[in-house]
Amino acid sequence: MKDGPHIARIAALIGDTARADVLTALMSDRALTATELAAVAGVTKQTISAHLAKLLDAGLLAVEQQGRHRYFRLANAEVAQLLESLMNVAFRSGAVRVRSSPREPALRRARMCYDHLAGEVGVQLYEALVRQGLLQPAPDGVALTPAGTAWFTQVGIDTAALQQQRRMLCRPCLDWSERRHHLGGALGAALLQRLLEGGWARRTQDAAGAPSRVVQFTPKGELALREWLAATAPAH
């Protein structure tokens, strides 16, 4: 018997289509019921119960009881990071499921990557932060600069409090659709939350009323985003 992490077990769990659909749906950072997840995966309630039990046992999901309902979510940010990495590998290898949907362009433009912003806009924001010297390359990925601390404080984000969290403050997260990085970690989550609270962006729902990964910028947010990105654009 070989020692070490049992990666084959985790890979087999994620490799099932129904379970992969469940995990992808939970990348929206919204807790969903078994009934909602059964609809997402296209399976019966009995079947989804078996899938959820396996994912819980493997530590990929967490569950919370609220009254009569049980709500499932990804266990932590590390699981979300694993899924985003797999999406990137699948995209590069051509293993992409094509669905004729008007949401596809919106998903590529701005979406949830667990609890931070991904897609075209997420990448643009990250690259602008680096250009402005608010973030800088570091041995373990990316680091917040003194100028960055001042800027995030100005927009209402307490970076000192974020540094007390167990998760990494900031890290580059490879975006599966853009093939470039967006901002992950506690800082990425706080930035998205600030955009939502400030009325710059909002979460969306699908046709059935379930939470979607798509993030839609409001007219105010679109204007502010264009102005800020234009101001930080590289000189030609």
59-98 per-position pLDDT tens digit: 999 998 888 889 999 998 888 888 888 877 776 665 555 4
129 and 212, same domain (yes or no)? yes
Residue-number span of the structural domain to which 224 is assigned: 78-231
Mean pLDDT score across all residues of the chain: 86
Mean pLDDT of 114-141: 92
- pLDDT class of 101 with cuts at 50, 70, 90: very low
Give the residue with greater pLDDT, 39 vs 122: 122
Beta bridge partners of 216: 202
Residue 223 domain-assigned (yes or no): yes
More confident residue, 174 or 194: 194
In a domain, 119, yes or no: yes
Asked whether residue 198 falls in the same domain as residue 178, the answer is yes
56 and 89 inside one domain: no
Return the higher-pLDDT residue of 109 and 88: 109
CATH number for 11: 1.10.10.10
- Of 75, 104, 120, the residue at which a domain comes to its end is 75
Query: Are residues 70 and 91 part of one domain?
Result: no
- pLDDT reading at 149 higher than 90: yes
User: Is there a contact between 213 and 27 (Cβ–Cβ < 8 Å)?
Assistant: yes
pLDDT confidence bin for 212, thresholds 50/70/90: confident
Alpha helices in 29-145 (DSSP H): 34-41, 45-57, 77-93, 103-109, 119-131
pLDDT reading at 33 higher than 70: yes
- Residues 124 and 187 placed together within one structural domain of the fold: yes
In a domain, 215, yes or no: yes
Are residues 111 and 40 part of one domain? no
Burial of 198 (0-12, 13-18, 19+ CB in 10 A): middle
Q: Is residue 1 assigned to a domain?
A: no
| Count of domains observed in the chain | 2
Look at residue 170 in the predicted model and tell me its pLDDT.
94
Same domain, 57 and 101: no
Same domain, 227 and 119: yes
**Could you tell me what percent of the chain has a pLDDT over 70?**
90
Judge if 137 and 64 occupy the same domain.
Answer: no
Are residues 222 and 173 part of one domain?
Answer: yes
**Do 39 and 82 belong to one domain?**
no
46-55, 116-125, 227-236: segment of lowest average pLDDT: 227-236
Q: Which of 44-48, 125-129, 178-182 is predicted with the least confidence, judged by mean pLDDT?
A: 178-182
On whether both 87 and 201 belong to a single domain, the answer is yes
Q: Which amino acid is at 33?
A: T
Q: Does residue 228 contact residue 154 with C-beta atoms inside 8 Å?
A: no
The residue among 75, 95, 111 that closes a domain is: 75
Residue 179 CB contacts under 8 Å (≥ 6 apart), including other chains: 88, 91, 92
Mean pLDDT of 181-206: 93
On whether residue 2 sits in a domain, the answer given is no
